Structure 1
Amino acid sequence: MPVTPFDAAPQQGPRPLPLFLGLLRSETAASPERRAAALAGLTAYQAARRPGARRPMPVAARAGRATLRDYGGAGAPVVFVPSLINPPLILDMPYRRSLLRWLSRQGVRPLLVDWSEPTPQDRAQDVAQHVEDMLIPLLRSIGEPVALAGYCLGGTMALAAACAVPVRGVALIAAPWRFSGFGAEALGRIDELWHAAQPTCEQLGLVPMEVLQSGFWQLDPARTILKYERFGRLDPDSAQAKSFVAMEDWANAGAPLTYAAGRQMFDDLFSADLPGRGQWRIAGRIADPAALPCPAVEFVSLTDRIVPAASAAGLHDRRELRLGHVGMVVGSSARSYLWEPLARWLTALPHIR
């Protein structure tokens, strides 16, 4: 069956493409029909039309290379902390799937941390320094205690910051804290990935996004291929197809990590589980969820294949749902199961001056 050559198509991803194609060959070895369907979906994804880029929201504050982008709204400020992995715009997706723009109409003033792109000169900034040298100064620049909300690794960082500076409350969304909860098999694969990539990353001073993406694919290789099979059968002009392209573009984009942030994430968080063992220090203090002096809530998905429910912080106020790691933020059921409960929780927080 003839297929469009990939070198003749726009290279929108997946990144790294050779590894994806190897995964595709492995997952469809026993089914030529599935392989053809996945390749057709991949070609359609690469050739899909993309909307023009939206204008960035105004900058409210800066700290180092990080900025705080203001989404407006008349309510109390809430700083949203995205992961260092993948772009922050998962919280501001197009096609009426922007959590932040919706919240700005619900009595909340969302402010989004944009970590910007590191250079090799930033190689020594680990995850803790991102919190101490960028996130905490951004919080203090607002001039009043704010609420914090963090997604994925951004939730890990938000919780650490809330243990170090006064905040009105902290909400975690699919955020790992007890990294041993990933399980021995997944942790073994993660350790192998870092062992293979670490020497090159040390030379570069950065951990390329492709290293992290390949790790995500290994967590659920069957689904990685199946979604392209399904996409190839969609009407390219349908809302579902447009949302898929937007989500995959987000998943295949993203700045590298600094080398120190990658080393700390793999060695201190995943391997040593310093947060879960009560040994992770931020701003000179042990980051301890049990000692938080403010209201705290965590939204945990029982079907999350990226951040398993067993890795959550174990807060007293735990809201369980059954949506995927990304679907809980932008899926068709996200508004009912995450957006609305989160808005109610944030607007009920006491004001502190």
Structure 2
Amino acid sequence: MLREHSAALPHRRTAVLAGLAAYQRAPRPPARPPRPVLAQAGSATLRDHRGAASRGRPVVFVPSLINPPRVLDLSAGNSLLGWLADRGLSPMLVDWGEPMPAERGLDIGGHITDRLLPLLAALDEPPILVGYCLGGTIAMAASALTPLAGLALIAAPWRFSGFSDRARADIADLWTAAEPACDTLGLVPMEVLQSGFWRLDPERTLDKYARFAEVDPVSEAAAAFVALEDWTNQGAPLTYAAGRELFDDFYDADLPGTGRWRVGGRIADPRALDCPAVEFVSSTDRIVPAASSATLTDRRLLGAGHVGMIVGSKAHAALWAPLADWLSGHALAR
């Protein structure tokens, strides 16, 4: 990608490579200890992020199957879950864990019926589900299968025909090239998905590394960049069936958006929700465009990007505060 986009710009290539080298050698703080496990289903766990001030109904965050769940608890000073716990809410986080090749047949629907629903069944009362990105797609489908006290979607795709024709064509090409190897492995490696994200905006990807070459390596800005990039470039693979369903049934056929995605014998329909629901949608999202949202009645449009709304400088005002207000109204009111 660097060769393609800097062939005539040797100075830019040098800057990008310098930034990449700086990122690779940057110091990393010791990993924080994992949060306590409240329940387990297969490789998935439900982790406790409540604090001393927490009270009220459980608020279960469902992350994407892509990238680790820790973006919702990125660092001690930048944690949506920690911030919500300090405000009296009771956040918990699904950790999907690491799939094994023997689980190749576990599709996205199976992650709902065989992983998420057993975790929720371990709770004493129906929770509020908060789904981020593909986790929102999963949470939306789960709402048709289990009682919920509320549902909040954050940058969650539902109508996959809302992605641009170019984006869907690029995704189809990516899967055509990667599918035979993924079939052999029984898994879809994170590198396959990451290369697709790079294609969305290659200039932006290169520019951020060029800028990082000029950042003080021991500054807070450098630490924040490294923490976010480490999250971006890590993640467990998908099972083969989950990858196939994502690429073929979602991006290509748009089964969710056309009312044809059947999970656990039920079809999830945003119009049939029987609990309070809200969705937070970004008007500048390059990964999940606003046109792909479920278009719930309570739809909040944000100006922060897909990841920026969770961990960026505008996150508190754009998402954290309005989400906390909505959750407090449904999780703390008895």
TM superposition score normalised by structure 2: 0.97
Structure-2 residue corresponding to 1:329: 310
1:217 aligns with 2:195: no
Residues 47-93 of structure 1, C-alpha deviations (whole Å, 9 max, x = no match): 00000000000000111211000011223210000000000001001
Residues 108-148 of structure 1, C-alpha deviations (whole Å, 9 max, x = no match): 11110000000101100000000011101111110211000
The alpha-carbon deviation at position 240 of structure 1 amounts to: 1.2
Is the partner of 1:349 in helix, strand or coil?
helix
8 Å Cα contact 2:12/2:210 also seen in 1: yes
Aligned pairs for 1:11-90 within 5 A: 23-72=1-50, 73-90=54-71
Moved more, 31-40 or 254-263: 31-40
Structure-2 residue corresponding to 1:104: 85
Q: Distance in 2 between matches of 1:95 and 1:35?
A: 34
Structure 2 stretches lacking a partner, 5+ long: none
- Number of residues paired by the alignment? 331
1:310 aligns with 2:310: no
8 Å Cα contact 2:281/2:301 also seen in 1: yes
Q: Distance in 2 between matches of 1:197 and 1:216?
A: 15
Structural RMSD (CA)? 1.2
Aligned pairs for 1:210-289 within 5 A: 210-289=191-270
Aligned with residue 172 of structure 1, among 153, 175, 178: 153
Q: Distance in 1 between matches of 2:305 and 2:244?
A: 27
The alpha-carbon deviation at position 239 of structure 1 amounts to: 1.3
Residues 140-161 of structure 1, C-alpha deviations (whole Å, 9 max, x = no match): 1102110000110001001110
1:198 aligns with 2:179: yes
Q: Distance in 1 between matches of 2:270 and 2:333?
A: 21
Is the partner of 2:86 in helix, strand or coil?
coil
Structure-2 residue corresponding to 1:300: 281
Specify the code of the residue in structure 2 equivalent to 1:272.
A
Specify the code of the residue in structure 2 equivalent to 1:38.
V
8 Å Cα contact 1:76/1:146 also seen in 2: yes
Specify the code of the residue in structure 1 equivalent to 2:10.
P
Q: Distance in 2 between matches of 1:349 and 1:214?
A: 39
8 Å Cα contact 1:76/1:107 also seen in 2: no
Specify the code of the residue in structure 2 equivalent to 1:69.
R
Is the partner of 1:104 in helix, strand or coil?
helix
Specify the code of the residue in structure 1 equivalent to 2:253.
A
Aligned with residue 95 of structure 2, among 110, 114, 117: 114
Q: Distance in 2 between matches of 1:335 and 1:237?
A: 25
The alpha-carbon deviation at position 350 of structure 1 amounts to: 6.2
Structure 1 stretches lacking a partner, 5+ long: 1-22
Specify the code of the residue in structure 2 equivalent to 1:30.
A
Q: Distance in 2 between matches of 1:175 and 1:33?
A: 39
Is the partner of 1:79 in helix, strand or coil?
strand
Change (3 A) 1:35 1:50: same
Change (3 A) 1:351 1:336: closer
Specify the code of the residue in structure 1 equivalent to 2:81.
L
Residues 7-53 of structure 1, C-alpha deviations (whole Å, 9 max, x = no match): xxxxxxxxxxxxxxxx1111112211111111110010000000000
Q: Distance in 2 between matches of 1:217 and 1:42?
A: 15
TM superposition score normalised by structure 1: 0.92
8 Å Cα contact 1:95/1:243 also seen in 2: no
Q: Distance in 1 between matches of 2:145 and 2:232?
A: 31
Is the partner of 2:111 in helix, strand or coil?
helix
Change (3 A) 1:32 1:350: closer
1:338 aligns with 2:316: no
